[in-house]
Amino acid sequence: MGYIYASVKERIAEEARKFECISSRYQLPFCLMLVYFDSTEDVSQVIVSNTRCADRFVKIDEHYYALLFFANREDSHSKVANKILYALEKLHPNTKISIGVACKERLDADDIVSKAIQNVLAAQESSFNTIVDQF
């Protein structure tokens, strides 16, 4: 968890601060979604094409991708994760996809990265394409 934690934290720090500021000002929770794609093929465009203009996408490394987005509805995190999982499965049916999501509404800001990482690692343990969003 150490390597991926440091990589995610480093790559999303600036964007997370922006989301934190907007979140506290407008009382709007935000989520961090980590996508693990078990192939070295770059799927950035697939993920970006299934996000909103206010969402922020970051490629972490050749397997991990991060997405920060505002949760304007209680089930936003689930809808976004399922939309991205479906799009990736459709284009890459034989590739393992694991998604972990954590939302700030239920966590302290310092814990959101570690919880998203725990969730994506738990999803990777499944033999199926999985979304884990336990807060």
| pTM listed for this prediction | 0.91
> What are the pLDDT digits (tens) for 33-66?
999 999 999 999 999 999 999 999 999 999 999 9
- Give me the chain's average pLDDT, please: 89
The owner of tokens 């949760």 is 71
> What are the pLDDT digits (tens) for 3-18?
778 888 888 888 888 8
What's the pLDDT at 113?
85
Domain 2-132: CATH architecture, name and number where available: 2-Layer Sandwich (3.30)
Question: Concatenated DSSP letters for 85-130?
Answer: HHHHHHH-TTS-EEEEEEEGGGS-GGGHHHHHHHHHHHHHHSSS-E
Integer Rg of the chain from CA: 14
